[in-house]
Amino acid sequence: MAAGDGQVEAAGGVLWRGDPAEPEVGLVHRPRYDDWSLPKGKLDLGEHPLLGALREIEEETGFTARPGRRLGSLRYAVPEGPKRVRYWACEAVDGAFAANREVDELRWLPVSEAFDLLSPTHDGNVLERFATDTRRTRALVVVRHASAGDKKGWTGSDTDRPLDLSGRGRATLVASLLQAYAVRRLAAADVVRCRDTLAPYARSAGLVVAALAPTTAGTYEQDPAAAVDAVAQLLDGDGTAAWCGQREVIPDLAAALAARLGGTVDPDDLGDLRKGALLLLHVGVDDGKLVAVERLPG
């Protein structure tokens, strides 16, 4: 996904496996440059950065991965112009390495040994960010509903307003992102556009979108605590969960959820969350405490 100013867009991650307290990270050797690096690469035109990161990781290492917290971005100059690379912590799920045109070796190393191969490169800085907190996480995904046309032009009940063409397209992308996080439980405010934003993923995953009336605008204000309870319960059990809501509700509800999980949310992450965008609350698998809040790009 090249930016309008000619910026080169790329993505990748710290691929890790094993005990989160003492993880091994996967480094790839690129014969073209005769160097060791984190798996990463340029995005295809229009490709979402997270999905591009996972694709590049699989292409270079042979392993599928489950994304965790965001590890920020690096910016530097390349012959083609300014370059931005976005990174995520990614736990290896399954796979096997096979040498290819771009990568001839994959090496699994403890973090300290990986530093020796990477430092003082750009990727060494990313690995340092990963090393500050290697806990295994799962996510509570907050989704703002996708585009549902002009409210003023809709003659029926606002709760029945469906997604428009753009919104349906965005819901397809939302499905791909929820698949990347292996979401197991789905819920939404009790309005059609919220349920429909999650519908493509629900169909593909064989899940049901539960309607959470307390989280619906107009009802939420009467008892915010009930809404927070309802969404927080989505984290009961294993795996990740997603809830889709409305602009009026998301900032307060997300902030209250973060506080419930032992943390805070930067107001800048909550303001103007665009239609069909995702906000992730990453919590520790072992302690259920908030580890990071991520406003997913794209």
CATH number of the domain within which 207 lies: 3.40.50.1240
Q: Give a yes or no: residue 206 inside a domain.
A: yes
Task: Say what the pTM is.
Answer: 0.94
Region 37-62: mean pLDDT is 97
> Where residue 96 falls among pLDDT bands split at 50, 70, 90?
very high
pLDDT in tens, 149-162: 988 888 889 899 99
**Which residues have C-beta within 8 Å of that of residue 27, sequence separation ≥ 6?**
36, 37, 38, 106, 107, 109, 114, 117, 118
The confidence score (pLDDT) of residue 211 equals 98
Nearest to 190 by CA among 231, 146, 244, 241: 244
Q: Say how far apart CA 86 and CA 297 lie, in whole Å.
A: 10
Cα 175–Cα 180–Cα 183 angle in degrees, nearest 5 = 70
The reply to whether 172 and 235 lie within a common domain is yes
> Where residue 60 falls among pLDDT bands split at 50, 70, 90?
very high
The confidence score (pLDDT) of residue 120 equals 74
The confidence score (pLDDT) of residue 271 equals 77
Q: Are 142 and 281 in contact (CB under 8 A)?
A: yes
The confidence score (pLDDT) of residue 103 equals 97
Q: What are the CA-CA distances from residue 263 to residues 2, 48, 254, 258 (Å)?
A: 35, 28, 11, 5
The reply to whether 51 and 147 lie within a common domain is no
The reply to whether 251 and 276 lie within a common domain is yes
Tell me: pLDDT of 253 over 70: yes
The confidence score (pLDDT) of residue 4 equals 43
Domain extent at residue 149: 137-295
The confidence score (pLDDT) of residue 1 equals 39
Q: Give a yes or no: residue 1 inside a domain.
A: no
The reply to whether 160 and 212 lie within a common domain is yes
CA 1 to chain centre: 17
Q: Give a yes or no: residue 239 inside a domain.
A: yes
> Where residue 266 falls among pLDDT bands split at 50, 70, 90?
confident
Q: Give a yes or no: residue 260 inside a domain.
A: yes
Region 93-117: mean pLDDT is 96
User: How many C-beta atoms surround the C-beta of residue 125 within 10 A?
Assistant: 15
> Where residue 3 falls among pLDDT bands split at 50, 70, 90?
very low
Q: Give a yes or no: residue 189 inside a domain.
A: yes
Tell me: pLDDT of 247 over 90: yes
The reply to whether 36 and 87 lie within a common domain is yes
Tell whether omega for the bond before 110 is within 30 degrees of 0, i.e. cis: no
Tell me: pLDDT of 5 over 80: no
Region 165-181: mean pLDDT is 98
Q: Give a yes or no: residue 250 inside a domain.
A: yes
The confidence score (pLDDT) of residue 106 equals 98
The confidence score (pLDDT) of residue 51 equals 98
Region 243-248: mean pLDDT is 97
Q: Which of 131, 146, 177 is the last residue of a domain?
A: 131
The reply to whether 94 and 202 lie within a common domain is no
The reply to whether 141 and 121 lie within a common domain is no
Q: What percent of the chain is predicted at pLDDT more than 90?
A: 87
Nearest to 41 by CA among 52, 30, 26, 32: 52
Q: Give a yes or no: residue 3 inside a domain.
A: no
The confidence score (pLDDT) of residue 100 equals 92
